[in-house]
Amino acid sequence: MEKLLERGVTEVLPNKEALNSLMKKRKIRIYLGVDPTSPDLHLGHAVALRKLRQFQDLGHEVVLLFGTFTAQIGDPSGRDKMRQPLTAKEIAVNMATYKKQARLVLNNSKTVYKENGAWLGKLKLDEILKIASHLTVSRLLERDMFQERLKLGREIWLHEFLYPLLQGYDSVVMDVDAELGGTDQTFNMLVGRRFLESMKKKEKFVVTVPLLPGLDGRKMSKSYGNTVNLLDEPEDMYGKLMSLNDNLVPQYFELCTDISPKASTPRDRKAELAREIVHMYHGEKKAKFAEEEFNKVFRLKEQPGNIDRFDIDRPIKDIVGILVETRMASSKSNARRLINGGGVKFEGRTITNPKEMIEENGVVQVGSRHFARVVYKT
């Protein structure tokens, strides 16, 4: 049980010993709250989910709370300006995919799923005022992102003040013993601890886990293109992990797996990491195949064996049109950027002219991992 609160844990508040003592006496109820702000979960999200699964495997009650109401406000954590709120429809779509992907980590049959819109959406003004009476403005202003905005002369919107208040109230409604979350959520989770103490005279523990950096060392974000998504194809997942900064490999081993590296060289340790993570989410057979395909392309300089075929109608197409038609570029402007950046090849030859015509069948390559076999219809 002690290892549960060691590996991959930044801090336990108010202290680790007290939580350990409680868990030896009885099973606890612990929850993780997620605002469904995008359709994809990545390895950064999986850090908290994996820790939640460890509590689950020890018999504790695990709740995955979807912030269907709070997502409409927008969490100000880590933001130097107001986050754009989502519509109820966008949230519902994202939540459906979140739940599907969370099952890749959690034991679905033993997970309690809840939505905070079920209670927050029903609060009346007098109830909100009563909740607000348990928190001071000076306490809210202690938040680092609010302090940063004040220094920069930027606005703090009133609804953003309400976010930690409403998230904190989730703990009261669910009557939890503990909350799990990333270090960026510490303030919000401590508000819930304060509310439980003042409203129910009950102790609440806060367990924080580190934020996993993206492949390039920056914050893991879809906008940076440095994420490894749980639903990435095995070959893509393996290839992305092989592009990981060498200095991040130990952190990925600790936070994303249950093993320690055995290989002696940096390259082999990275391959060991990539193989293990693909194995976790896709199985041993696909992990082995992904590794073989990667080695075929990067070590032996061969083309992968499972290139998707695209039958193209004549007349002869320019390379920009081919990239869009094979879905290797999201738009013509995106295709031109890829070409101008030197990232497009046809039959191993780098394409430099966006107007070049593709006159024969062959393999188009974008970047180091994406291939498409173009075949003109006769």
Grade residue 83 by pLDDT with cuts at 50, 70 and 90: low
3-state secondary structure at position 210: coil
Identify the band that residue 299 occupies on the pLDDT scale cut at 50, 70 and 90. Answer: low
pLDDT tens for residues 1-32?
568 999 999 999 999 999 999 999 999 999 99
Find the mean pLDDT for residues 271-290: 96
Q: Are strands 111-115 and 178-182 parallel, antiparallel or unpaired?
A: unpaired
Is 0.85 topped by the overall pTM?
A: no
> Pairing state of beta strands 29-34 and 61-66?
parallel
Structure tokens at 367: 């970047």
Six-digit token string for 215: 């492949």
Average pLDDT over the chain, rounded to an integer = 88
Q: Using a CB cutoff of 8 Å and minimum separation of 24, what contacts does 23-28 make? A: 23/58, 23/60, 27/59, 27/60, 27/61, 28/55, 28/60, 28/61, 28/177, 28/178
Q: Which superfamily is assigned to 308-376 in CATH? A: RNA-binding S4 domain (3.10.290.10)
Instruction: From residue 377, give the alpha-carbon distance in Å to each of 13, 56, 314, 362.
Output: 65, 54, 7, 13
- Are 270 and 241 a contacting pair, CB within 8 Å? yes
Domain assignments of the chain as residue spans, ordered by start:
2-209, 222-298, 308-376
Does domain 2-209 fall into CATH 3.40.30.10? no
pLDDT tens, position by position, 221-270 = 877 888 999 999 998 899 899 989 999 999 999 999 999 999 888 889 99
Q: Which CATH superfamily is domain 222-298 in?
A: Tyrosyl-Transfer RNA Synthetase (1.10.240.10)
Whether the CA torsion 32, 183, 276, 40 is positive or negative: it is: positive
What pLDDT, on the 0 to 100 scale, is given for residue 121? 93
Structure-model confidence comparison of residues 115 and 333, the more confident one: 115
